[in-house]
Amino acid sequence: MAKRRDSRGSERTLSNALVKLKWQGASGEPRFAPGKVLDCSESGIRIEVAEPIQIRSYVTLDAPELNMAGWAGWGSVRYCVSRRSKYIIGLELSAGARWN
């Protein structure tokens, strides 16, 4: 995987891993969606999804494709922007949930 630096100085790793996301919708209903990891750092992940997720939503991630059985991460949506027919979210991982 290629590495790059962003303006914040944190090292990011490009990826195309598939993940499953779970969060609560605006009225508290459970929401689920597949996503594709675009890049990641130790404390954050940029993910492409098919629907918008509200900023500050608490999201749980499952990454079965990475052969990390039982791994689940969680974090908060920092931004959500529309790109073509998809959405790009920036997820700040919570303490203890690290993407390696």
Q: What is the pLDDT of residue 87?
A: 98
Expressed as residue numbers, the domain containing 40 is 3-93
40-61 pLDDT, tens digit each: 887 889 999 999 999 999 999 8
* Residue whose entry in the numeric block shows the structure tokens 């100085």: 9
- Its pTM stands at 0.79
> Residue 74 phi/psi, 5° resolution?
-150, 155
Domain CATH code at residue 15 = 2.40.10.220
Bigger pLDDT: 29 vs 99: 29
Q: Is the pLDDT of residue 69 over 80?
A: no
Mind spelling out the 3-state secondary structure of 79-97? Answer: EEEEECCEEEEEEEECCCC
Q: What is the pLDDT of residue 41?
A: 84
The DSSP bridge partners found for residue 23 are 31
For 21, 65, 85, the CA distances from 56, given in Å and listed in that order, are 14, 26, 22
Q: How many domains does the chain have?
A: 1
Residue 10 lies in a domain: yes
Q: What is the pLDDT of residue 1?
A: 46
